[in-house]
Structure 1
Amino acid sequence: MQEMTHRLTTDLRRLSFENHDSCVTCDHVFQKGDTSHLGYGQNDEPLYVCNECSGNLKETAIRHYFSPRPYEIPDQETKLWRYMDFTKYVSLLSSKAIYFTRTDCFEDLFEGAKGIKKNKDRWDSHYLDFFKSAIRNPPEGYACKLSEEEIEKDAQHLLKDMEMGGESRKKRTFVSCWHESEHESEAMWRLYSSVLANAVAIRTSYKGLYESLDRDPSISIGRVEYIDLNKNYAGPNDAFWRKRKSFEHEREVRALLTDMKCKDEGKLIQCNLDILIEDVFVSPHAPEWFIHLVNDINEKYSMKIKVNKSELKEEPFF
């Protein structure tokens, strides 16, 4: 078996990110626990392959046990919306960057939570048993020589580390939230604009968002799953992709990244606005002069997209 070099180029990371679920050589669909191999072929081309195809690697960068993504990726053309105040829209155009908020700054106190506190004892009991079993049954070639008392102590320590890690992850996880829908949402206008008449929405697609961020493999984009925390938990790797059922109306697709060094409450990530913004809409309560103002701002920042009046402003007949 080749020694791993840990040489991970952007092209290799992007290949494995975009083809996460299957081997790029034989299309084998990975199952949980399979070994996936990242490396380079005879002509130094990046490869992401299964065990059967690992012989095609001239260099193995890294191999690991496959684990499914904790989120679902929308179809490429799925429509995504971002509702915002006019000032945030101007900031988007002037900075040419998407703002990612640090997750401990969200109003929702359950952001990144694994469950409800009153149910924590069941969670602790489950993972304490899991850790003790893992310590008693080490990988082949190793033997557990610890006493039951030492196993209990180590398992408690691992449980505590996992709990502390959950808290610290909130300070290094950054998110940009989008609403998935084929149509405008009156509810989203109200939720995400502090002054309804002074609000703008941009429409893009999953493909547009991903490609506008330069197909960065360190940024994950996927659907949030809404669960009943009275009956369920979010797994250790799922917490930032799960929210309570009471938020289901948001139909959120989020872009998520981790930054260990950033101490700010948010960070700007450069993007290609020509790719990102497919359409611009103004609030259904916006006066006519506001539409002209947004068009003027677009022109100032060389955006050729014409502003659309809200479709909610259409007149009915009876």
Structure 2
Amino acid sequence: MTKRLSLELRRMAFESHDACVSCGYAFNKGDTSHLGYGNDDEPLYVCDKCAKLLKETAIRHYFMPRPYILPVPNSKLWRYMDFTKYVSLLASRGLYFTSADSFEDNYEGAKGLKNHKEKWDSHFLEFFRSAIKNPPPEYKHGLSEVEVENQASKLLADLELVGMANKQSTFISCWHESEHESEAMWRLYSSFLANAVAVRTTYESLYQSLGRDPSIYIGRVQYIDLKKSYASVNDAFWRKRKSFEHEREVRAVVHDLDCKEQGKVLTCDLDQLIEEVFVSPKAPAWFAELVTDVNKKYGVQVAVSTSELIEEPFF
């Protein structure tokens, strides 16, 4: 294997994650996916059956399903924010990703409830013991029971340290998925301020605006009952408690071991990202004009609309 992973190949593997690009075979957990290049150096992401099409094998992967669900391409996503954050978005021409360690929810990235940790530890200790005692055929562990136990305990401790470190190296941009404007989201994420806006986009536009970057993962959060289950090692940042289910969150996630700040800005194409801007239902009449003027100043041509929530009822 050459380990030559071009951007085009990484994009193909990312976008076609679930199936072979040649025959359409749907991968199952544990299958081998092959990444490489064909006779004309075209990128290929294929199954065992189609691996013969590869002139060069870059790498093989043990297939694992995504830890999140992809929204449909045209699903509407909303980001509610105060006006200063909106201006920052325009001025930086970038999307701000917050460190998971900075979120108010201290369960961000958690695997489960502390009073259930003993059961979690027991499961992984047994998993590590089995892995140590049953290496591939060409290896023999030759370890005593005490040595096996010590190694398993060390791996468990390392797993917990990695979990804590991941909170500092994981950065998230949160969006609300809905066909319609949300009164609850105005209250939660803009404090119902008069000088607040909501940016509307779609999943596809968000993905495209970030340059189809295969290192940025975008998907739906799943809400679980931590009294009955755990988040796994790979999906901890894609699981939240049931009490947050009203958020209907879609998040973009990126990992950066080198960034030590509380957040980072990733360049994005604002013309691709912003499909429409809505002003707060508490905003005065002139505020929409101000937002329009600021958009023009930063070269963003997008519709600015008043909130649907100010429509008058009849009885």
Query: Could you state the TM-score of these two structures normalised by the residue count of structure 2?
Result: 0.99
Q: Which residue number corresponds to residue 92 of structure 2? A: 95
Amino acid at match of 2:62: Y
Q: 2:192, 2:282 within 8 Å by CA — same for their partners in 1?
A: no
Q: Which residue number corresponds to residue 259 of structure 1? A: 256
How is 1:169-184 mapped onto 2 (pairs within 5 angstroms)? 169-184=166-181
Deviates more, 1:241-250 or 1:187-196: 187-196
Distance in 2 between the 1:303 and 1:13 partners?
31
RMSD: 0.8
For structure 2, the 5+ residue unaligned runs are none
Distance in 2 between the 1:36 and 1:155 partners?
29
Q: Deviations over 1:231-282 (max 9, x none)?
A: 1100000100000001000000000000010111100000001110111000
Q: Deviations over 1:166-194 (max 9, x none)?
A: 00001100000000000000000011114
Deviation at 1:77? 0.3
Q: Deviations over 1:179-226 (max 9, x none)?
A: 000000000001111452110001000000000001000000000000
Distance in 2 between the 1:139 and 1:224 partners?
36
Q: Deviations over 1:55-81 (max 9, x none)?
A: 111111110110000000000000000
Amino acid at match of 2:29: K
Q: Which residue number corresponds to residue 285 of structure 1? A: 282
Distance in 2 between the 1:170 and 1:47 partners?
34
Amino acid at match of 1:40: Y
Distance in 1 between the 2:263 and 2:32 partners?
36
Q: 2:30, 2:64 within 8 Å by CA — same for their partners in 1?
A: yes
Q: Which residue number corresponds to residue 293 of structure 2? A: 296
**Matched position secondary structure for 2:74:** coil
Distance in 1 between the 2:197 and 2:157 partners?
45
Match of 1:275 among 258, 262, 272: 272
**Matched position secondary structure for 2:194:** helix
Deviation at 1:290? 1.0
Deviation at 1:304? 1.6
Distance in 2 between the 1:144 and 1:306 partners?
65
**Matched position secondary structure for 1:16:** helix
The answer to whether 1:34 aligns with 2:31 is yes
Q: Which residue number corresponds to residue 192 of structure 1? A: 189
Deviates more, 1:287-296 or 1:221-230: 287-296
Deviation at 1:142? 1.9
Q: Which residue number corresponds to residue 237 of structure 1? A: 234
Aligned-pair identity (%): 66
Q: 2:109, 2:167 within 8 Å by CA — same for their partners in 1?
A: yes
Distance in 2 between the 1:304 and 1:221 partners?
25
**Matched position secondary structure for 2:142:** coil
Q: Deviations over 1:23-46 (max 9, x none)?
A: 001111100000111111111000
The answer to whether 1:46 aligns with 2:43 is yes
Distance in 2 between the 1:139 and 1:96 partners?
50
Distance in 2 between the 1:43 and 1:307 partners?
48
The answer to whether 1:311 aligns with 2:308 is yes
Amino acid at match of 2:283: A
For structure 1, the 5+ residue unaligned runs are none
The answer to whether 1:25 aligns with 2:49 is no
